[in-house]
Each structure stands twice: as C-alpha cells, then as structure tokens.
Chain A
C-alpha cells in the first residue's frame, strides 16, 4: 500500500500557471472524480469500475479512446467525455494513472438485475470461451474480466457492439470479434439475462498487474 502512495507523492507536482494547459493533470486522482474514490465506478456519472480491470486492458482502452476507436463514432456523451480525457493524456500519464488505480482494493457493488439468471448462464457458455468460465478475462484473447462490472455498463457496451458504435474500427481486432458475437445475440431479453448472470459472479483473484510500473 505504502509504495504507491510514495509513487503518487513523487509525481504529485503542484499545479501552477506554468504547466501547459494541454497536459494531463499531474495528479492521477483525476480519474477518481468520475470513477469513484476507490476507482470502483459511479453509476451517477455512468463511469465503470476500473479497479477490476487489469493493467493491459486499461492501457489498451485508453489507447482505443486516444485513437478514437472508442468514443469517436459513439452517440453517447459518456464515451465522448472519456475520449476527451484520454486524448489529453501522455504515455507517462497513462502509466501513472494505471499505477494509481492498481493501488485500490478491488470491490464490487451488489446489484439486483431483473433477468433470468439460469437462461443467462446458458447464454454465457458462448462468452466463456474468451472471457473465461468465471468471467475472469483472458489477456491472450484480449478479453477483459466481466465479473464485478456494473450491469448498466455491460449492457451499454453490448448495445454499442450491436449497433456498431464499438468494434468497427479497422485496427480493433478484439473489438471486431466482440461485435460479431454481440450481433449474434438477437433478443434484448437475452442481453438482460446474460448481464443478470454475470452480475452474480464473484470477482476472481487474478493478477491484474502486468508490469512493475509501480516501482
């Protein structure tokens, strides 16, 4: 716990008028304004849980937002907000932000989702191939963990893949695959059932840290 506080302190440079307006805030607490004080997400801001996401996925999604794979075609204001923030971040900022997020305890908000959990479990068999039986994620496949994520966020992403707002960028191979899968889910009720099942899953104890960027 202490080493990341030290890490933050090292990088915490007080803001002054000499800092260029183009640069990301030097304090990574920036992320917590929207994503919650423990990076656990905040429904009121429509900001997802970051603490459950491994370094490699956070990094790839920040790059996706930077390059406009995510957010650019989107019609929802939330991904546009994230795109603007990501585009203001340098590679160093990204490393620092991920290192900061890693310091928080992984937590999950208990949700009650109206949906047929057993039907969702059946549907999830398709998802398990990439996201893992316990929805723990699989870096090799480029699949993030889903367990612990908010139902409203998962649902919005499934809809974004179905509508082509996500997964349409040329270089986004993992996204393109997910788009195909999402398109194969025809009924809205199936989406709800699927999400209802995923929210029953416990967070898996996996190594979220990819590199030793904290040191």
Chain B
C-alpha cells in the first residue's frame, strides 16, 4: 500500500467515527471533554456552532454518531453521545453573550426563507450575522417547523425549543408567521436576492384505497397532522382503543401521545418484522415501556365499520421472504384475517413532499417523482436564486441532516450573492496539536474507563402518562454525565507516526492493548489486512501505513479498535509516535470562510 496521506484532513476525520458519521460533523469528542471538565457553556457553544439546536438534538436526534462510535466495537454499547449533548444544554450558563451580537451592518441583500424548521433557521443563523436581511415565512404561529409540530412535548419541552428558536430569531430575523406562502411566483416578484425553501415533507401518506376508509373518516387520522393538531392544542382527546399503523418514529410518537390523551389500549401494527422497523431502537423501547404492544407482520386489509362508526381493522398475517438479492417481500401466511378493535386509527405510514405552491413555469425543475432537482452539495435548484434544504430537498430525513444542509445552502447563497462559484466550497477548519506534556502526561485524559453505558433516568410513568407536557427523560445528572463522558475514547486525539524517528524497537507493538500495530513487509491492502498481528477484518476502517522504514518494512496500524490510550506514544523512546489532537470543523457561512477559502 502507499503511505497514508495524513495531510489530507479527511483521513483523520474518518478516524473520529462519531464526527464523521454526523451529517453536520459536530466535533463530538471535543464537547464531551468539555462536559467532563464541567465547561458546559463551552460545550454548548461547540454544539451550537455546528448543529444549532443542541438542546433539541440532545433529546431527539437520530444519533447516527452512536452506531458509529468506536466504543461499540470495543465493548457492547457506544457512548451516550446524544444524551451528553443534553447535559451541556441543561447546565449551560449565559451562552447568548458568546453568540453573534446584532444589530449587524447591512450588506444590502435580502433573503426569503420559506418554512420555519431547522433547515431554514440554520440558514437564518448563518446569514444574519453577515448583514443579510432575512425574511422567514411559516404557516404556523411559532417557529420550529416539525420540531414543534411533530415532536411531542414529553420528548421535547416547549421551553427548550423556544429558547433555541429564539436565539436565532433574536439575530434580527424578520418573521412572517401565520403566513402560508401560496405562490412562489408572487414571492419571487418581491425581488429577494435569494429564496430558500425549507418546507419539509408536510404531507402524511394515507391509505385511501382501503375498504372503509371513507366511512370511518371521523376516527381515522393522518399521524403527522394529528400530532401537529395536538401540539397546537386543537386536539386533546382520543378513544380508549387506538391502532397506530406504521413502524417509524412518527408511529412511536403517535402511540405514546395517544397514551397521554386517553388511549388505554394502544397498539402499533406494522407490516414488516419487528427487527426491520424504521423506528430507532430506543423509541421502540420507550413505547414498550409505556405498555404499547408492537404487532409486527400484519398488513392492513380494511377498516371495519358498524352503523357508520369505526369498530376496528382487519389485518392479513404475513411473513418476510427474501430473494437471493436480499430484497424483501411480505407474503401472506395464508391464515384467517385478524380483527383488532379500535375507536381511533392513526395512520403513520410515511410522509412525502408537496410543492403545490411552486408554479411550474418559473425555471425550477422537478423530476418524475415531483421532487425539485437539487444539487447534492450546493443545494441549488435549477433556478439561480432558489435553494432547497432539509426534507424539502431530498425527502424526509431528520433534524441533524436538515441543519447540515442548511449550513451548505447558506454558504451557497452567500457565494451566489457575491457572484462567486458555488462549486468552490470552503475548506474545513483543521488543527493538529501535540498533547505531550511529559513522559506520562498528556493534555487529555488518556485513561480508558471500563464503565458500561449509563441509562438515562426517566420520570415515573404514573406522572408522564397523565401529563402530555411532562418530559419523560430526566437527563443525566452532573455526576452521571461526568462518568458517561469519561467513557469517550477521545478518538480525535490521533496517533501520529513519524517514520524517520522510528528505531523499530517494537515497544508500541508490545504495549498496544488492542494489537493495532504491526511492523511488516508491505503488500496490497487485502494481503496486508490478513498479515497483521490481528487481521483487520473491518474493511470500513482504514489502515494507517507508514513510508518504508530502515529494515524495508512498514508500520501498519489498523484504526478499527484503537483505544487512543496513548500507550504507543508513551512507550516510544524516540517520540516517533505522538498523540495529537485533531480538530475538524465544517466551515459555515458566518465564519467568514467564503472570503478566504
């Protein structure tokens, strides 16, 4: 193999598994260390810069970082990254003074944001400090978009959401709430320099062709509309027996909300096998904890109506069959249809985009699925001044993805307004600093704790099920938060190898607790992987290969289960190994990056 190019920031970035997996590339180990040091305000600001909604995300994030966490490859469970973020948010001090302080000097440009969700708010936050005049339009009376209408208060208290939305609106955003934008043409006529569309995926899928759908309409509700109606307090009751159709996180929010509005026998019924449900495992656990059975492998066949009133639903039992390509098919088990009683049915079987308000003759192209044609890195549409982000761009994903896309769209808008090339993206901010302080001393806490993952305490079910707004999770207290933070392996403190200093004494090989390091003859990657002290079987993890040493061998380090404990560097007599803290931060529009790329 060729020597690894560690000057490419993407190499070490990939070693920081959590950060690499995060759509917004939040510097996770950096803020976890700050939490361990009780520097909650600083930890919050690292998050705020990167993901804009630390308090919201610390409760509701889809946490792509956690399955990626190295700890999960070393022992059973990853670090509770998401809930540590909440520790920072819960215990922060005065953060506002660290945020950009308006009023900002105008740059004479005007930007319209359609939708008040995470993507649009991110664009607002990134552009306002640069002097843009931002106009935000949303049909609801408050900002937050789906964070407000879809995420129930028992998971995300309104106060938390309001605080973080207001941090942005306080930057001098012109808000136009209760204002449904019904025509893009009209909006364009108002001579904005740029328009950002962050309208989400607002249409819940229905089951229009199922027998009885029309007759039972009074008691059949579309999940996201129903959640929204609960959030804005138009709905406060539901029947005692409720069926929730669907296996995603919206279904989990629906069933748990139903439990709080009077649903006593709430059942989730899903087509697929339990293990293949789209809902996050922890959301399924939370539903189970609230006595909600999840009935899998049941395909809805019809609504049962008696005397014009919904009585329940019929289901066909199926089993999953996979063809040789692994493609799943749900095949009827050939049993008698199953009847499940219900007073109300919530349909949470997916949601889709909908752009009835964008006229087709404006130069904004749509594809055959009626989705706008959007550039994957610039988020530009086919119209020079119109940009898309969040669920509106590529379909329903999650808050953190919307934020990441908002950052990129903001950069594009800034570049476009300056007349620069959208495809020349700003480089990330990168830093690499030695952590050595003495023979046994590092500037980071290198000891590896063996604690198992701590569970987040929850409020009593008695209380939470009777009060829709009572938050279920209590969050880590400071002491537990510290212990959980100590589980982080500091993967951003990189093992950096200097070939010219190495005397090939094998000290690093002998000391490495997880047998990551091998000195061997060089070979092609696949051969090299099998030649190591412990074969490198995880191909998603890179090999760090040095240039040739005096003995014509190379140093090969399998990044897979490195604990970043620093023992290789500590036992190295010549400092050929060094532990260096790698800081990688995605450049945002407001960091002024675009002008010095």
Indicate whether A and B interact: no
